[in-house]
Amino acid sequence: MKELKIFSPATVANVSCGFDVLGFCLDTIGDEMIIRKTVEKGVRITKIVGADLPFETKKNVAGVAALAIMNAANPDFGVEIEIYKNIKPGSGVGSSSASASGAVWAINELLGKPYNKQELTAFGMKGEAIASGAEHADNVAPGIFGGFTLVKQLNPLKVVQLPTPSKMYATILHPQIEVKTSEARAILPKEVSLQKAIKQWANVGSFVSGLYDEDYELISDSLVDNIVEPHRSKLIPHFDAVKEAMLKAGALGAGISGSGPSIFSLCKGEENAKKVAEAVIEVYKDKSINYDVYVSKINTKGIKIINLK
Amino acid sequence: MKELKIFSPATVANVSCGFDVLGFCLDTIGDEMIIRKTVEKGVRITKIVGADLPFETKKNVAGVAALAIMNAANPDFGVEIEIYKNIKPGSGVGSSSASASGAVWAINELLGKPYNKQELTAFGMKGEAIASGAEHADNVAPGIFGGFTLVKQLNPLKVVQLPTPSKMYATILHPQIEVKTSEARAILPKEVSLQKAIKQWANVGSFVSGLYDEDYELISDSLVDNIVEPHRSKLIPHFDAVKEAMLKAGALGAGISGSGPSIFSLCKGEENAKKVAEAVIEVYKDKSINYDVYVSKINTKGIKIINLK
């Protein structure tokens, strides 16, 4: 194999109760990337379509992630990377991590798969750190593993693969406004009440149980965030109206995707997910903000090969 | 059925990462109770052996819990209750809740089982409230449900039954000192750092996943409590030495049982649980504190009938 073209999916981090910990992988939105072996060693970004991102390897998340795995493996070849962005940077559905995880996943294929998913996630985090200023895995992990993931700890990294109930869909609204990650972070409280924290970990526990038992009612009841959402939702125009419309249309739950501005919902079945999408459009159609709405089955495979040479 | 004798087991609440939420049920330590139909309506406590507890129905946790279910069902009979305490009050392994949950469980049998486990837990909580000043379910639920339980929420009550890995054992040390519940509660912080809270809910999520997947390594890694244990452990003599001995002897994890003073560990297999018991005895044998050590398989059935008439 000399070259492969991959689909690197968008992902949703936090998932209401699971701030900094939970994430899941989408199927209908994602970037495409071509990763090609070169005789010359090193990593070069040769093409970027669809977004204004740096070509300099050490300033590009895909480049930095690629360097991490290439430096570890030290093969007798280099790679060049073409990035076709469909996930808008700053949308809150893991744009930077799709580039980072796509690069490491594809290079691992070119290397003959020496690394497991945990190791690939760790390489991907190196790229993610360029974008967000800190190493995070809550978007990288669901891209690499697929389905629902739980980042148990970062140091040493331990990602837990969770099961995906068979009828699980997501509907996502992306209002095209900018939420600065620095602002989304600054708005978080440093301390939280023990009582609220207890409710949050009860919900994480019951959410995980609901995934294993395919108990959609329990999943729905667990999709609550009393800690982060009350603060960050202020940064997202019409958040309350969108969330209410999603729930009224039958979504299992709704909340902020990553640090926003995208708003996600989880739904039981495609039909319901489409109904939720219609309800969201009804809220946003007469607002002065451009938006995208996505309906997606949960992607249990993660990154996929489109073709190879 | 006119009368039944039951075994109402001791339980461990909190389980390190799951403060106020997680619990599990023991098999080798518990109270016995006889509950007998009477022509006269109402609830009477007629015998208490092994502990100095009030006979007045409304002051006795079993009495109050019994009144809750009897008032709801309003049958044409009353009950009298005999309590044979083996679980020492104040030990931290659910002494009061064993009385409360035993009473409601047995009365439900005499009534012809009109109530499900969720409802029985809610009745049991009424009795527990007399002992602790607030309605809690984290000891009542594992007694009623058996195995591992997660109290997702109290209002309305929602208990999630979690699976029990087949080789799961517990070793418990009960140092016979008094830890006042009021003091154990007063010592808790009202606020916790968001960073610590995130670690805690990551661990709750991975612990639940570990139970489903019988992943003892993940269970072990998840049995961490950075929020409550650092405060409450100060109230328990030689806590650090006991915990260290338990872990060194191969326990999956160790922590405070309920609000203490008992210290629990979870172990993979009976042999390891016995080894952990020996290690604990080694720490406590030359101390000036009386103690009990229990080794128990996790009890997946909960309360059991010993005999009936």
Of the given ranges (A149-153, B125-129, B192-196, B223-227), which has the lowest mean pLDDT?
Answer: B125-129
Nearest to A230 by CA among A188, A286, A283: A188
Closest-approach residue (CA) in chain A for B163: A209
pLDDT-based confidence at B213, cuts 50/70/90? very high
ipTM field: 0.96
Q: Cβ–Cβ of A191/B192 closer than 8 Å?
A: yes
**What would the mean pLDDT of B246-258 be, rounded to a whole number?**
98
**B19 to A221, B51, B118, B173: CA distances (angstroms):** 20, 28, 20, 19
Q: Is the pLDDT of residue B172 over 90?
A: yes
Do B292 and B47 form a contact (C-beta atoms < 8 A)? no
Residue percentage of chain B with pLDDT more than 90: 93
Q: Cβ–Cβ of B189/A190 closer than 8 Å?
A: no
Q: What is the pLDDT of residue B49?
A: 97
Q: Would you name the residues of A annotated as active-site residues?
A: 128, 181
Contacts of A158 in chain B (CB under 8 A): 206, 221
Nearest to A300 by CA among A187, A160, A142: A142
Do A275 and A250 form a contact (C-beta atoms < 8 A)? yes
Q: Cβ–Cβ of A209/B212 closer than 8 Å?
A: yes
Contacts of B152 in chain A (CB under 8 A): 202-203, 205-206, 218, 221-222
As a whole number of angstroms, the distance between CA B56 and CA B166 comes to 42
Q: Is the pLDDT of residue A273 over 80?
A: yes
How many helices (H) and strands (E) would you count in chain B?
10, 12
Q: Cβ–Cβ of A188/B194 closer than 8 Å?
A: yes
Q: How far apart are the CA of B205 and the nearest CA of chain A, in angstroms? A: 5
Q: What is the pLDDT of residue A69?
A: 98
Q: Would you name the residues of B annotated as active-site residues?
A: 128, 181
Which residues of A lie closer than 8 Å to B, measured between beta carbons?
17-22, 150-153, 158, 160, 162, 188-194, 197-209, 212, 218, 221-222, 227
How many other C-beta atoms are found inside a 10 Å radius of the C-beta of residue B84?
A: 17
Closest-approach residue (CA) in chain A for B17: A201
**B276 to B236, B270, B283: CA distances (angstroms):** 18, 10, 11
pLDDT-based confidence at B211, cuts 50/70/90? very high
| A85 phi and psi angles, rounded to 5 deg | -80, 125
Q: Cβ–Cβ of A212/B209 closer than 8 Å?
A: yes
Q: Cβ–Cβ of B227/A158 closer than 8 Å?
A: no
Q: What is the pLDDT of residue A258?
A: 94
pLDDT-based confidence at B101, cuts 50/70/90? very high
Q: Cβ–Cβ of B152/A222 closer than 8 Å?
A: yes
Helix (H, G, I), strand (E, B) or coil at A62: helix
What pLDDT, in 10s, does the model give residues B8-19? Answer: 999 999 999 999
Helix axes A61-73, A117-132, angle to 10 degrees: 140
Q: How far apart are the CA of A267 and the nearest CA of chain B, in angstroms? A: 21
Q: Is the pLDDT of residue A185 over 90?
A: no
- Chain A interface, best mutation among B15, B138, B188, B209, by max A CB count within 10 A: B209
User: HSE on the CB side for A297, CA within 13 Å?
Assistant: 10
Helix (H, G, I), strand (E, B) or coil at A183: helix
Residue B84: strand pairing partners: B32, B49
As a whole number of angstroms, the distance between CA B70 and CA B106 comes to 11
Q: What is the pLDDT of residue B180?
A: 78
Nearest to B155 by CA among B122, B126, B127, B124: B122
Q: How far apart are the CA of A279 and the nearest CA of chain B, in angstroms? A: 29
As a whole number of angstroms, the distance between CA B184 and CA B39 comes to 43
Strands (E) in B176-289, as ranges, are 191-193, 253-256, 263-268
As a whole number of angstroms, the distance between CA A144 and CA B71 comes to 56
What pLDDT, in 10s, does the model give residues A57-109? Answer: 999 999 999 999 999 999 999 999 999 999 999 899 999 999 999 999 999 99
Q: Cβ–Cβ of B194/A198 closer than 8 Å?
A: no
Q: Return the H-helix or E-strand segment holding B37.
A: strand B22-38
Closest-approach residue (CA) in chain B for A21: B202
Give me the residue from A21, A198, A227 closest to B21, CB to CB.
A198
Mark A76-99 as b/e (b = at least 16 C-beta within 10 Å).
eebbbbbbbbbbbebbbbbbbbbb
Identify the structural domains of chain A with CATH numbers, from first to last: 3-162+299-308 (3.30.230.10), 168-297 (3.30.70.890)
